[in-house]
Chains A and B, each alone.
Chain A
Amino acid sequence: MKNVKVLGPACKTCTTTATAAQLVQIAADKLGIPVEIETVTDYAAIAGYGIVSTPGIVIDGKVVHAGSLPKQDDLVRWLVA
């Protein structure tokens, strides 16, 4: 089971964070890799990961992406790594 954290603000109009989480799920389902997706919305916690722009993606404790919706090809690459 891989632990994936999606970092980003949560508000009514910030749908990007949720979309990023869905994209991770889609990639994981396609690969057949079980994942546990967590959304981190606390600003202090987000900053703690060292990123400046959101949405950020953290897989098993390692920051792999920040600042845009992740591309499916990249997600696949990160999830199998």
Chain B
Amino acid sequence: MTLQSIGERTPGAAPSAAKWIGWTGVALVLWGLIYSQLAPFADWVVTVLPVRPDSPLGAAIVFFAYDTPKVLLLLTLAVFGMGVIRSFFSPERTRALLAGKREGVGNLLAAGLGIVTPFCSCSAVPLFIGFVGAGVPLGVTFSFLISAPMVNEVALGLLFGLVGWKVALVYLGFGLGVAIVSGWVIGRLHLERWLEEWVRNIRTTAVALPPEKLTAVDRIKTGVDSVRDIVGKVWPWMMAGIAAGAFIHSYVPTSLLATIMGKDSWWSVPAAVLIGIPMYSNAAGIIPVVQALLAKGAALGTVLAFMMSVIALSLPEMIILRKVLSIRLIAVFVGVVGTGILAIGFLFNALFQ
């Protein structure tokens, strides 16, 4: 939608609620129909092209032609659903829920709210100041800031669709675990003095915003807006991820990956975490790669550690947070979260022998 068209929308011109809800239903049915036809579609693509289906190139093309629409569909549904759920929450309300909460309970609540509260890393700084300034404990704020980008609908939806519900559930559980424990540890360390000076001095009082009356149509529109916004932003990452996945799937020998990322090489977990930090991708780009790596015999713990590191410890976010945190505090943050991710990687590789 262009700026002009937003501006010209006159009050009272909104279509009826029944029409919106009806079309949402139609869209969902259509979604299901297309989803059920993905495999035949991918096979058909290869028969049209002059490559043999059993050649490596043919296999790569099938992988790409199957995964691209599949990931796109899953992404759209997950983002739409979460957009609707998020319309019930706001960062202001989350802060009101968290202010004055004890550590422990507060960390738990913060990590959970991190999933459903609308958040984008561009507003990480105002959010951080707003939370800390209004009396949300530092550790609780961190639990929120770790959980919000790491445990999100894009990651969970894609893991569910591409790798399976068990791994998705594990990711959800351990993502929350890392957020809760890391936040709690940071809180215990009492590092408030390592905040930037001006942040420490800010005291804000929470503002009472006029209540927003959202109708069902408004919530559906919020969902559609998040699809346009998020899917519109991540699709190049996603395509790159699937292309990389297709390449791994067809050309990288299984033995090579099993040696480098298999269970027997203990050093692969720390290596995966270290490699993941400077890599900046989002879940949409990394999960197709994860899927291909797993299929080629990479250990689940190593792959999970890699994925969490890429998503949760990103350099750009640290640069944004540098405005409010001292270098030392950022180092502690990376250290604590990194250790948590390492522990999960090792634990998994040990459990699933």
A interface with B by C-beta (< 8 Å):
9, 13-14, 16, 19, 22-23, 26-27, 30, 43-44, 46-54, 63-69, 72-73, 76
The answer to whether B130 touches A47 (Cβ under 8 A) is: yes
Residues of B within 8 Å of A72, CB to CB, are: 6-7, 9-11
Given contacts A63-B207, A67-B90, A67-B91, whether A53 and B123 have CB atoms under 8 Å apart is yes
The answer to whether A52 touches B131 (Cβ under 8 A) is: yes
CA distance A68 to B119 in the complex (A): 11
The answer to whether A51 touches B11 (Cβ under 8 A) is: no
Residues of B within 8 Å of A64, CB to CB, are: 209-210
Q: Which of B150-158, B197-205, B300-308 contacts A (4 or more CB under 8 A)?
A: B197-205
Interchain Cβ contacts within 8 Å, total number: 90
Given contacts A9-B122, A23-B6, A52-B131, whether A44 and B11 have CB atoms under 8 Å apart is no
Residues of B within 8 Å of A49, CB to CB, are: 204, 207
The answer to whether B207 touches A53 (Cβ under 8 A) is: no
CA distance A22 to B126 in the complex (A): 21
Besides the known contacts A53-B91, A67-B92, 20 further A-B residue pairs in the complex with CB atoms under 8 A apart: A16-B122, A22-B3, A23-B3, A44-B202, A46-B129, A47-B204, A48-B202, A48-B204, A50-B130, A50-B204, A50-B206, A50-B207, A51-B92, A51-B126, A52-B91, A66-B92, A67-B90, A67-B91, A68-B118, A72-B7
CA distance A27 to B130 in the complex (A): 29
CA distance A72 to B10 in the complex (A): 8
Residues of B within 8 Å of A48, CB to CB, are: 202, 204
Q: Does B125 contact A (CB under 8 A)?
A: yes
A11 to chain B, nearest CB (A): 8
Residues of B within 8 Å of A51, CB to CB, are: 92, 126, 130, 207, 209
The answer to whether B198 touches A44 (Cβ under 8 A) is: yes
Residues of B within 8 Å of A19, CB to CB, are: 3
The answer to whether A53 touches B11 (Cβ under 8 A) is: no
A-facing residues in B178-220 (Cβ within 8 Å):
198, 202, 204-207, 209-210
List of 8 A-B pairs having minimum Cβ-Cβ separation, nearest first: A50-B207, A52-B130, A26-B7, A52-B91, A53-B91, A47-B129, A73-B11, A63-B207
Q: Does B127 contact A (CB under 8 A)?
A: yes
1/0 contact trace for B105-141 toward A, CB 8 Å?
A: 0000000000000110011011101110110000000
Q: Does B52 contact A (CB under 8 A)?
A: no
Residues of A within 8 Å of B118, CB to CB, are: 53, 67-68
Q: Which of A14, A26, A44, A63 is the one whose CB lies under 8 Å from B129?
A: A44
B218 to chain A, nearest CB (A): 9
Residues of B within 8 Å of A68, CB to CB, are: 118
B141 to chain A, nearest CB (A): 11
Q: Which of A27, A54, A76 is the one whose CB lies under 8 Å from B123?
A: A54
CA distance A9 to B323 in the complex (A): 12
Find the B residue at minimum CB distance from A74: B212
A31 to chain B, nearest CB (A): 11
The answer to whether A43 touches B125 (Cβ under 8 A) is: yes
Residues of A within 8 Å of B91, CB to CB, are: 52-53, 66-67
The answer to whether B11 touches A76 (Cβ under 8 A) is: yes
CA distance A49 to B202 in the complex (A): 11
The answer to whether A9 touches B126 (Cβ under 8 A) is: yes
Q: Which of A47, A63, A66, A76 is the one whose CB lies under 8 Å from B133?
A: A47
The answer to whether B210 touches A50 (Cβ under 8 A) is: no
Find the B residue at minimum CB distance from A19: B3
CA distance A67 to B120 in the complex (A): 10
The answer to whether A66 touches B7 (Cβ under 8 A) is: no
A-B contact pairs, 26 of them (CB 8 A): A9-B125, A13-B122, A16-B122, A23-B6, A43-B323, A44-B129, A47-B202, A48-B202, A50-B206, A52-B95, A52-B126, A52-B131, A53-B90, A53-B92, A53-B130, A54-B123, A63-B209, A64-B209, A64-B210, A66-B92, A66-B207, A67-B92, A69-B6, A72-B10, A73-B9, A76-B11
The answer to whether B7 touches A52 (Cβ under 8 A) is: no
